[in-house]
Amino acid sequence: MPYKTLVILSVCTQIVNGITSADIIASHNYPVEIHTVVTRDGYLLNAFRIPNSIYCKHSGPKPAVLFQHGMTASSDVFLVNGPRDALAFMLADACFDVWLSNSRGTRYSRRHVSLDPSDENFWRFSWHEIGTEDVAAFIDYILATTNQSAVHYVGHSQGCTTLVVLLSMRPEYNQLVKTAILLGPPVFMGHTHTLGQIFLRTLIMSMPDCEFMFHNRILNKILTKICGLFVVRVYCSTFFMIVNGKFSDHLNTSAIPLIAATLPAGVSSRQPKHFIQLTDSGRFRPFDFGILKNLINYRSLTPPDYPLHNVRPLTPVHIFYSDDDLSAAKEDVENFAASLPEAVMHRISTPSWHHMDFVHSMTVANVINKPVIEIFKRFEQPIDCEEVYNK
């Protein structure tokens, strides 16, 4: 499989004009590498690596952690909270080898060996292909690069869905995943009621295969400046949270300008369409193409359910969820967990904890990140590193 690697130790502007994940990482004095992975079906995907931290005194190989973002997001989502609160930085400080992936169609992964983003065929994918192809390719690449046997995994939102798809459909990858952390997993979605889905439903379901919610450098730069104004920031944060569920009391409003600079990152219209299909059916299954194409693709009138009994990583799946997450409703998450061979449930009891609070909350370091790091450390041999949480 062809791979490319580009090492960047300072601010990078080579992928897109504007703020990039490499910019954010380098601005906090962390080393950063850019790696390009080619999938089996020809997409060229970029990943950002944080290989080290000044707070880690361990000089040997470090356990690799793969991050996978949600829909409309990119690797940026795991960085904008900064080094004190973002899990990616905290894991680097705790002596883990951090890899931040970007799925096809996002601002960092808009290339193909033969297709152009202006071609409709480029956008003929949903999160099914992101799971079976993109996540698989990232795991293969990381293991080949680091000479390790398995990775730790952190997924938020759609980043949870894609791992479940991979482990269901290509069960050989279960042995390559040490621990799986799923933050707000939208799998079963019969109780999902986000305003974004309600108001955009008709538009989404009528769209052809095309780019949806694309990243626009000029517009994002304008929004960054506007949302950077203190008097306007509250309105930006309110809009951001309502679209993703409902207003949150926990959003890190200081990160709003950077969020505005990086979202949306670009998706295929099939991705939200596929989620709406899950909401309508109450089942977790591949994309519904209609009766005729279903007969061709699945040999049945409707798509078969994903075989969740195949989801068996090396340790039980860790599921973080809350009562007030409208994108991954408590009832649906509990149904999902009951469908897995083994799962450990982490219920967030904090009132009004919503879908984006798993990555953007002011208290995410204590509520989510520290427990996740402890889960990873329990799997690994003790690693010498300084206490970094109060740096």
Beta carbons within 10 angstroms of residue 328's beta carbon: 29
355 tagged catalytic: yes
Whether the bond into 186 is cis, omega within 30 of 0: no
- Cα separation of 388 and 391, whole Å? 5
- Number of Cβ atoms within 10 Å of the Cβ of 358: 26
Active-site residue, from 112, 152, 250, 355: 355
Amino acid at 20: T
Q: For residues 258 and 160, what is the distance between their CA atoms, to the nearest angstrom?
A: 24
Q: Is residue 156 annotated as a catalytic residue, yes or no?
A: no
Query: What are the C-alpha distances in Å from 19 to residues 216, 239, 331?
Result: 12, 22, 38
The count of C-alpha atoms lying within 13 angstroms of the C-alpha of 326, restricted to the half-sphere facing its C-beta, is 15
β-sheet bridge partners, residue 8: 32
Q: Which of 74, 75, 109, 157 is catalytic?
A: 157
Burial profile 9-47: b = 16 or more Cβ within 10 angstroms, e = fewer: eeebeebeebbbbbbbbbebebbbbbbbbbbeeebbbbb
157 is catalytic: yes
**CA pair distance 172, 311, nearest whole angstrom:** 10
- Marked catalytic residue, from 325, 327, 360, 361: 325
Cβ burial, residue 194 (10 Å; 0-12/13-18/19+): buried
What kind and span of H or E run contains 181? strand 177-183
User: Concatenated DSSP letters for 257-290?
Assistant: HHHHHH----EETHHHHHHHHHHHH-S--S----
**Three-state DSSP class for 334?**
helix
Q: Residue 277: which of 190, 200, 207 has the closest Cα?
A: 190
Catalytic residues: 157, 325, 355
